[in-house]
Amino acid sequence: MAAGKSKTPAVELEVGEHTVRISSPDRVYFAARGETKLDLARYYLSVGDGIVRALRERPCMLHRFPDGVAGQKVHQKRVPSGAPPWLETVRVHFPRYGRHADELCVTKLADILWAVQMSTVEFHPWNSRRADTERPDEWRIDLDPMPECGFDTVRRVAHVANEVLDELGATGWPKTSGGRGLHVYVRISPEWTFTDVRRAALAFAREIERRAPDEVTTTWWRKDRDPRTLFVDYNQNARDHTIASAYSVRGVSEGTVSTPITWAEIDDVDPREFTIATVPARFAELGDLHAGIDDAVFSLEPLLEWAARDERAGTPDPGDPNAAG
């Protein structure tokens, strides 16, 4: 059945203490295998503990696809009026424009299903939490391959990143991006600003570049990068910059999923194999591979010392740390 032509009655799902109504349940969202809006809802139910852990207490931008992923994508920051009273929000401010937004703040699985009913496919949380939205507790390492950079390069660079993390005494939690790259998250104590975290991330990226100069770039402007290299995107740690969470489905016809993996899987993993059709069984077998992330908190002080060293050496910062919306 074509997107937008559903005639099937709504389905009511019991999610903890709440009932969530899924309208147009047979609307096709993912054309590659024909999965529907209801299939998407059932996927998120199957990975409930993991997706809630990834989003818990964080301001969250929603990427909505009202007509399925082949249709228009809507970036939504504000929870609309008429949301159920049990849905929680967190207010974030955008000083540049003198505005604020009350964004979704996930505390339970029913919040996820409400967002699916609102046609959300992707969940993009901040790297800070509601207790202090201006102090991140998550440092994100985004290994972003350029167009001619193969996944074997991504694998090699991931190992270099893990090597540096080990030397720093930090625990990295890898996941596929749901696309061609990899993400590594590190839990940090929420005592630094976004500017500090971004400075630390840039210092780390530069160290990776020093160790793998033929494969890694920190060059800011895309047009100036070698298309065969991998960009370590440190600016993903700037304020109001978000990337898809662990267990978030991506808005592509194959329904790929940003999936936690182990470091031992890096050499063999094929990110294309992680989809809404395959991840539920993996989750049932392995559980949430990021379950221990909150117990492995790292201090940014060594990286901030590296950042200060680079700044004393006159190494310019080409990015804009205030590029938030």
> Could you give the CA distance from residue 114 to residue 65 in angstroms, rounded to a whole number?
14
* Residues forming a β-bridge with 139: 186
Instruction: Compute CA distances 89 → 113, 130, 135, 231, whole Å.
Output: 15, 9, 18, 34
- CB distance 102 to 231 below 8 Å: no
Architecture field, domain 11-127: Alpha-Beta Complex (3.90)
pLDDT at 98: 86
pLDDT at 319: 64
pLDDT at 7: 72
- CB distance 112 to 241 below 8 Å: no
Using 50 as the pLDDT threshold, list the residues of the chain that sit under it. 1-4, 320-325
pLDDT at 5: 54
Nearest 5°: phi and psi at 265?
-85, -10
pLDDT at 315: 80
Overall CATH class of domain 138-241+294-312: alpha beta
Rounded to two decimals, what is the model's pTM? 0.94
Listed in order, the ranges of the chain carrying CATH 3.90.920.10 are 11-127, 138-241+294-312
pLDDT at 153: 98
Query: Among residues 299, 58, 319, which one has the least CA distance to residue 199?
Result: 319
